[in-house]
Structure formats: structure tokens, C-alpha cells
Structure 1
């Protein structure tokens, strides 16, 4: 009997530990973005300059836009292009971003019935059924509750368009979009910009999924 109880106790502890690990993993879900890119022929960086401008006039001149525009400027500079004023740049990089108001989703948080428990006979353990009395009224285990919970998800995206300044010819179009539990633009936009410039400019007409580290790790300065 002691052996049965000991093994059952270990099983419960292992199950509880597994559930906690699942909960931690859910909190650290990586950021995934779907990136679609199209290009005609991006010029080589040598001798090329750029300026990031708002594709939506309502964002132009705003402090928030300026903050996110600097992320794009850093990526373009990393590629070898030189920053210039909109009047002097050989390329205009039109940038836009946004997040919706979110929508509710429902998921089950229960784990089904305990395989070692019968509502007719009670706990079976490792040695077969041990009757507790018919129906076992009042028996409840929160680990095996078939409950549901609702949560909110948000759709976000950025758009990037690169035009040749001299004649307005379109050189590049890109869109990065994601669905996540966060609506914080301070978190979302940097991730989407990073996704956009991963393996830039990419294969024209191809949509790829880019995975980036989760929000809690970035907040702690993780690389």
C-alpha cells in the first residue's frame, strides 16, 4: 500500500510540474510574423541614399512615427545605404504601421478526467478500484476541471514601400503582419521591422514566417 501511495504521489508531482512548465512555455511564446515582399530591382548600396517618410500623412511629423522610423533607418544603414533628407535622397522609404482593437478567443483550460478516477467507484490507484460510495458527491480536483477562458488577440502589421525618388518608380513593397496577445506598439513595431529586414530583400513574391524572441525576454535584455 505504501508503495502504491508513493508511486501515485510521484505521478501527481510529475504531472503538476509538467503543467507548470507548459504554463511557463505559453508565457514565453516567440513572436511570429508573416512577411511578404516584392521587388523589381533594389539598387546596390554604393552611392544610394534614402529617407524614411510616413506613408500615411496623418503620421508625418509625429514623435511616435519618428521613433519607429529610426528603427527602419538603422536597418537601411546596416545594409549600406546612406541616410539623407527627403529632398536629396535617391530613394524614399514609405513606412506605415498599426494594430487593431483586438478580438476575443476562447480556449479550454481543463485537462479532462483523471484517468485514475471513476465517478462510479472512486479512485482506482494502481491496485484496481476502491469503492468510495456511489457517485462520490463532493469530489473535485481543480487540475482536471473542464473549464474555458477567454483572451484577446491583436492583429498588427507594418508596410514598407521603397520608391526611386527621381521618377517615383516602385523598387520594393513589403508587409509584415502578426497576431499576438500584445497590442503594445513599442513591442510590436520593433519586432515587425526586424522581421521585415531579415534576409532583406528576400525572394520576390514569397511569404515567409519569421520567429523573434518573446516580449518578456526582450524586456529583460535577452539576446
Structure 2
């Protein structure tokens, strides 16, 4: 038994985004912000083509991510066409970087190994753990801040009107995960980016999706 005794189950992320705990998460939370050109409406025809460099076109990772994006857009009524036949040209950018997030952890001090030494009580072996343990709970919960290595992942999608060359819609999705594998959260980030599409311009939102059971 350590000085801190039993640990509380509540975790709070003290940084932007939401921390996806590796191996035990049932949801993925993504911060999403979209902007659109004034007066732009999501009207027909909803046709698009991906726009990227020849070097990007050869990247297998990008091909996979663009297919996930294509599946999401298809569910919104968009149809992929050759560039010369598409109303929109869609660009997808993504990146990931390591970082440190501060997490606040609620702990319950164990007076058995508290600053006054073992506490036996009047009957011997009596150990007042706190609100959920034996005894009246004289030792209140405490908060400990610790650093957690995380990966900050971002995906950005831009819609450009093919005829005018002007950008009409863009969305950014950001996720913070302890898993260190951006590919694991990418499908959830893409789906979150287009939740409530087209989103209100300039209003940050937090989107939470359940983890697919067969992909946990």
C-alpha cells in the first residue's frame, strides 16, 4: 500500500482537446472548427475531386485517409468525379506532433501511511480511507498534477470552387491522444469534422464518437 492509498477514477485533462487513454477508451473526442464563405450554401450539385501534388498522390497513407474522407462525404450526398467534371476541388492536410499534457488526478490519502504513521484505531487494524472506505473520512481527497506524453493530431479539409478557384469551406479537427498513433484516431477525426455539416462558421465544437468495438 503506498502513501496515497486508493486512487480516484476521475481524470481531467488540463489542456486543449481531450485525452484518449490508450487501451481503455470507449469514445474519441475531437475539437472541430469550420469556416465558410459568406453566402455559400450546400446546394446541388455536390460533386468533388481530390486535389494534390503528384508526390502526394503516391503516398499510401494519404490514399487511405482520402478514402476515409470519401466515405464520409458520400454519406453527406457528395459524389466523387474526375477533376474536370467536379464542382469542388477538395484538399486534405494532416500532421501530428508529440507533446506533453498535464492531467489532474484525484487521489485519496491513506492515513495508514500518512504523516503520523500507521493508524490502528481503538480496535486495531482500523483504517479510515475516506468517503468510500472505513472510518469517517477525516482525510479529504487531494489533486495531483502529472505530465503525460501525448500526440497532437490535426486534419484540415478545404473545399474550393473549381470554376472560380475561391475557397468556400474549410474545417479543422484536432485530437490529443496518449496512444501515439495518429492513424488510430484519423477515421474518427474525419467523421467528427463533418458532423453537422455544414457547420456554423467560426464556432468551435467538441464532437465525441464511440470507438468501434472491432477496432479497439
TM-score (norm 1): 0.67
1:92-148 Cα distance to aligned partner (Å, 9 max, x none): 111111111x12456687945313565546323465899xxxxxxxxxxxxxxx999
Q: 1:126 to 1:194 in 2, by over 3 A?
A: farther
Match among 183, 189, 198 for residue 192 of structure 1 = 189
Q: 1:29 to 1:153 in 2, by over 3 A?
A: farther
State the distance in 1 between where 2:29 and 2:122 align. Answer: 44
Q: 1:58 to 1:98 in 2, by over 3 A?
A: farther
User: Going by fraction, where is strand more abundant, 1 or 2?
Assistant: 2
Please say which structure displays the higher CA radius of gyration. Answer: 1
Gaps of 5+ in 1: 1-14, 131-145
Per the TM alignment, residue 64 of structure 1 is displaced from its structure 2 partner at its CA by 1.3
| Equivalenced residues, count | 184
Q: 1:35 to 1:118 in 2, by over 3 A?
A: closer
State the distance in 1 between where 2:99 and 2:167 align. Answer: 35
Per the TM alignment, residue 202 of structure 1 is displaced from its structure 2 partner at its CA by 0.9
**Please, what is the CA RMSD of the aligned residues?**
3.5
Q: 1:153 to 1:118 in 2, by over 3 A?
A: closer
1:206 aligned counterpart, secondary structure: coil
User: Going by fraction, where is helix more abundant, 1 or 2?
Assistant: 1
1:95-106 matched pairs, under 5 angstroms: 95-100=92-97, 102-105=98-101
Contact 2:151 2:181 in 1 (8 A): no
Choose between structure 1 and 2 for higher RCO, CA contacts under 8 A separated by at least 6 residues: 2
Per the TM alignment, residue 22 of structure 1 is displaced from its structure 2 partner at its CA by 6.2
1:145-190 Cα distance to aligned partner (Å, 9 max, x none): x999753111110001001101112110110111111232321211
Q: Does 1:158 align with 2:155?
A: yes
Q: Does 1:47 align with 2:45?
A: yes
Q: 1:119 to 1:94 in 2, by over 3 A?
A: closer
Contact 1:118 1:124 in 2 (8 A): no
State the distance in 2 between where 1:151 and 1:99 align. Answer: 16
1:1-223 matched pairs, under 5 angstroms: 27-28=24-25, 30-40=27-37, 41-44=40-43, 46-54=44-52, 58-100=55-97, 102-105=98-101, 111=107, 113-115=109-111, 119-120=115-116, 122-125=118-121, 127=123, 151-214=148-211, 217=213, 219-220=215-216
